[in-house]
Copies of this chain bind each other. A is one copy, B any other.
Amino acid sequence: MTEQGATTGTWTRKISRENLSETAYQSIRTALMHARLLPGTKLRLRQLAEEFGISATPMREALIRLVQEKALHLDARGTAVVPELTLDELHEIRGIRLMLEGDCAARAAVRAGVRGATELKEIHDGIPAALAADNFAEAVNLNTAFHLSLCRLAELPITYDIIEGLWVRCGPILSHLYDDGLPPHDGEHPHLSIIQAIRHGDAERARAHLQADILRMGAGLDRFATRPS
């Protein structure tokens, strides 16, 4: 038989002991983050379970987890529903992001340097390409990926989880950005300024440009939050 020493590299891949609930959880979560589920959508237990081809128990677990991170909420009946975001909530999230993502940008500039900059550049380059093809959804997804990748570079796992949670919550309303494209920018695209600051290891410039980018994007979103401020 083939011994372990007889081959180089890994030929075994981890058998993902695929948890049914975990899989369902990830599916719904990325659907939320990719704006494929609109605010107000009801996620019914048995119906969803059938669509996923699983039983109610693991389906319920997936929904519970999403409710816990407030990516969904339960209505009076107990049905999971994609939440609407009030203007107040949107502003509060923006405030938190300015602090936490700002911190990540600053730290990424110190820790990631050139390596991180190229990684981000690669992601960002897809945005103009997607826009040229009128593929707004893809552009928005890449924008999300850009921000999250940046935060990952900071190597602050707890901070990262918080930020990702905020993005999941905002996901459903990102679909509104499709309505009339991404907000404009004057001069160089903010992402490029961020990338350059990181490449140069300039923490404070990275923070400032990232915060400017958050505010730019936020302006485009404000109009679409539900009225009851």
Tally of this chain's copies: 2
Establish whether residues A158 and B65, one from each chain, have CB atoms under 8 Å apart when the complex forms. no
B contact residues around A159 at 8 Å (CB): 92, 95-96
The CA of A157 and the CA of B61, in the complex, are separated in Å by: 25
Secondary structure at the A interface, as helix, strand, loop or mixed, is helix
Q: How many residues of A contact B (CB 8 A)?
A: 23
Are B57's CB and A158's CB within 8 A? no
Residues of B near A162 (CB, < 8 A) are 96, 162
Cα A178 to Cα B100 in complex, Å, equals 32
CA A37 – CA B95 in complex, angstroms? 34
A156 interface residue (CB < 8 Å to B): yes
Contact between B92 and A156, CB atoms less than 8 A apart: yes
A89 lies within 8 A of chain B by Cβ:
yes
CB distance from A12 to the nearest CB of B (A): 18
Chain B residues with Cβ below 8 Å from A69 are 68-69
Known: A61-B61, A64-B61, A69-B68. Contact between A158 and B93, CB under 8 A?
A: yes
